[in-house]
Amino acid sequence: MVGLEVLQGENEQMFGNGEIQHDINETTTDDVAEAANAPSLTVAYAKTSFDIGNTSLLAGVSYAKGDSRIDHLDDGENPHAFYGESTLYGADLTFKHYYSSYRSLSWENELIYRDMDGIQYSGVTSGSADMNKKQAGYYTQLIYAHNQNWRTGLRYDDIYKNNVNGNEINAGDRYSVMAEYNPSEFSRIRLQYNVNKALFEHDDATDSYIQKDLKSVIVQFNYAIGAHGAHAF
């Protein structure tokens, strides 16, 4: 399956096409960036799947490119804006092996790479500078379905690239383990433990960032009422 989409391109985090203006005072306005022509975002993707015996393989690639208009000039502490172009690249791969109707092992993987290139505008100094961000991360996880009711899993997330204007900035990774019990098709109980190593604290004495571990336990309960879709793959 292949697909192509042409979209309006409005997204606060990455894409956008609106005009950016900065009100310096009650009478003076700084025109930061002109509006981009809409539609300003193009998305393309390709997906495939096939079976080898009791094993299913699913793979896909995706691409998104569009104009960027990110306006945070109303932020109190650090007003800023960004305008330019942004590109997203994605790839995913899943293997799933069936031992029986309800017992299976699934290995899922996904990679995303982002490239933002444009101008960063500072609302404090009314100055601007070239800005280029190259960031990438992936996750890989194993999910084992013991039977119709129980599943366990391991997951690893990693932000392996965080490059801003040629300077590599601290990134990090996360480890997760979970156990899940499904009393029925309409309910789910999950217990999950995470160790997040992607958080950093600024040390004023050395003017450096120190990596901090964040450990968390999540208990989740889902209950669905009414009609439901097809059985999960």
Question: Is the pLDDT at 130 greater than 60, yes or no?
Answer: yes
Res 23: pLDDT: 65
> Can you tell me the mean pLDDT for 15-29?
71
Query: Which stretch of 25-34, 38-47, 173-182 has the lowest confidence by average pLDDT?
Result: 25-34
Tokens of 190: 């999950």
Q: Which residues of 164-188 are buried (b: 16+ CB within 10 A; e: fewer)?
A: eeeeeeebbbbebebebebeeeeeb
Say what the pTM is. Answer: 0.82
Check residue 126 and give its pLDDT: 59
Q: How far is CA 82 from CA 45, 55, 64, in A?
A: 27, 46, 18
Q: What is the mean pLDDT of residues 2-19?
A: 87
Q: What digits encode the pLDDT tens for the residues 67-113?
A: 998 888 877 677 888 889 999 999 999 999 999 989 999 999 999 99
Q: Which residue in 134, 102, 105 sits closest to 117, CA to CA? A: 134
What pLDDT sits at residue 26?
56
Given a cut of 90, whether residue 167 has pLDDT beyond it is: no
The encoded tokens of residue 153 equal 């899993």
What pLDDT is stored for residue 218 in this prediction?
97
Grouping H, G, I as helix, E, B as strand and the rest as coil, residue 166 is: coil
Q: What is the pLDDT of residue 219?
A: 98
Mean pLDDT of the chain: 89
